[in-house]
Amino acid sequence: MVTIRPARNISGSLRLPGDKSICHRYAMLAAIAEGTTRLTNFSPGADCACTLHCLRGLGVECEQERDRVVIRGQGLRLKGPEEPLDCGNSGSTMRMLSGILAGQEFTSTLIGDESLSRRPMARIIEPLTRMGARIEAAGNMAPLQISGRRLRAIDYKMPVASAQVKTALLFASLYADGETSVNEPVCTRDHGELALRAFGAGIMQNRKEIRIAAGKKLQGIEAEIPGDISSAAFFLCAAAIFPGSHLTISNLLLNPTRSRLLDILTLMGARMNVMQLEERHGELVGTVEVRGGGLSGAVIAGEDTAALIDEIPILAAIAPYTGKGIEIRDARELRVKESDRIATIARNLRTMGAQVEERGDGLKIPGNQRLKGAEMHSFHDHRIAMAFAVAAIRAKEETRIRGAEAASISYPDFFATLDSLVQR
């Protein structure tokens, strides 16, 4: 359990651990590339550690010292594992690694913890099976037994927007005959496409269609991973709800498919300044300065929901402190995350005394509310634990969060970092 005391302001500067989405993809591509890949500012979170653990189980040499990771690529063909590959709580690991395993010449089994074993996997099973892989999964959930084989190229229209599924299919396409195309219903984060280009794959994109041909060998790279913008979201929102706050975050990922939060906070009234922009392996990186202000409100729907899917918990958690509240639509995907995030957000907000309307695909949270300290649960969900820590710093009286250790999945030092920024 962690106890959060109210604050009067947020001030300071920080540099965040590497973006999880990029770390997963770079590590997996490094494993099947030729030569050695060297990565710095690699995420310390448990999810990315699960990816490295699974790669080691596939015969890949991965050395890690603090935030530095060295991966010696094995080429496209990996070694059959001697035991099941444990993905822990990481849906990213399970879904994206499945694309690589679908093209191998052996059978492997992917397992996960209780939470991951409840999450839907049909969205990767169906297209990978169409490509020729054989996947056994009771109820379309983990564990997944994947019998890899020579794959065939397909043209696939994704029924549900998912960057993880898209990346899994693009990874599988490296093992397919011919050219594979993937069409998205709405644009999702493009780290998979950028990573494939960085490692030398032949990939083409035209708006929501991505095409990739097999046959090109991947080559290892050297890269510094930019700071995780999904982790930054908690600190940016924390600063935004205090009118006198001033926070600077350097070396931050500013990929346009991930930085919609900056636009939303600006539209709501926070004062944002982006500086020192540069490009690394196709990814935009820079420094963001935020000063708090009186936040108005927002409606998040459609493509914004897809772009902000990881940031919705924190936006919902600060919604009572805004002038007009926040309404979230088209977010049914939140029902099948580490927890049912729509239900857990609503429950914790009510525990803190807020009014909230829970809907099948979202939430409506009025503004101008005063939250009170309370005892609540993370529901073993890292984003819920961190979001309500932020809500708690402006609440009346202390808040206790049970299961707060869930934050270690993505950011083990989150609570210490937050505490270093608050002024009381």
Helices 260-268, 229-240: crossing angle, 10 deg rounding: 10
Contact 187, 138 (CB under 8 A): no
Q: What average pLDDT does this structure show over 31-46?
A: 97
pLDDT of residue 106: 97
∠ CA 32-230-320 to the nearest 5 degrees?
A: 155
pLDDT of residue 206: 87
Out of 19, 190, 304, 310, the active site residue is: 310
- Does domain 20-221 match CATH 3.65.10.10? yes
pLDDT at 241 over 90: yes
Q: Tens digit of pLDDT for each residue in 383-421?
A: 999 999 999 999 999 999 999 999 999 999 999 999 999
Q: Sign of torsion, CA 267 291 317 306?
A: positive
Question: CATH assignment of 2-16+226-423?
Answer: 3.65.10.10
pLDDT at 215 over 90: no
- Sequence ranges of the domains in the chain: 2-16+226-423, 20-221
- In the predicted model, what is the mean pLDDT of the chain? 96
pTM of the model: 0.94
pLDDT of residue 291: 95
Each as own residue / partner, the long-range contacts of residues 260-265 (CB below 8 Å, 24 or more positions apart, any chain) are 260/304, 260/307, 260/308, 261/229, 261/233, 261/236, 261/308, 261/311, 261/315, 262/236, 262/288, 264/298, 264/300, 264/304, 264/308, 264/315, 265/236, 265/237, 265/240, 265/290, 265/295
pLDDT of residue 216: 85
Q: Tens digit of pLDDT for each residue in 40-72?
A: 999 999 999 999 999 999 999 999 999 999 999
pLDDT at 332 over 90: yes
Q: Tens digit of pLDDT for each residue in 125-175?
A: 999 999 999 999 999 999 999 999 999 999 999 998 899 999 999 999 999
Residue in 316, 318, 306, 300 with CA at minimum distance from that of residue 264: 300
pLDDT of residue 214: 86
pLDDT band at 347 (very low <50, low <70, confident <90, very high): very high
Across the chain, how many H-helices and E-strands are there? 13, 26
Contact 360, 332 (CB under 8 A): yes
Check if 2-16+226-423 and 20-221 are the same fold.
yes
Q: What average pLDDT does this structure show over 217-232?
A: 97
Give catalytic status of residue 228 as yes or no. no
Q: Tens digit of pLDDT for each residue in 189-206?
A: 999 999 999 999 999 988
Burial 383-401 (b: 16+ CB within 10 A, else e): bbbbbbbbbbbbbeeebeb
pLDDT of residue 289: 97
pLDDT of residue 411: 94
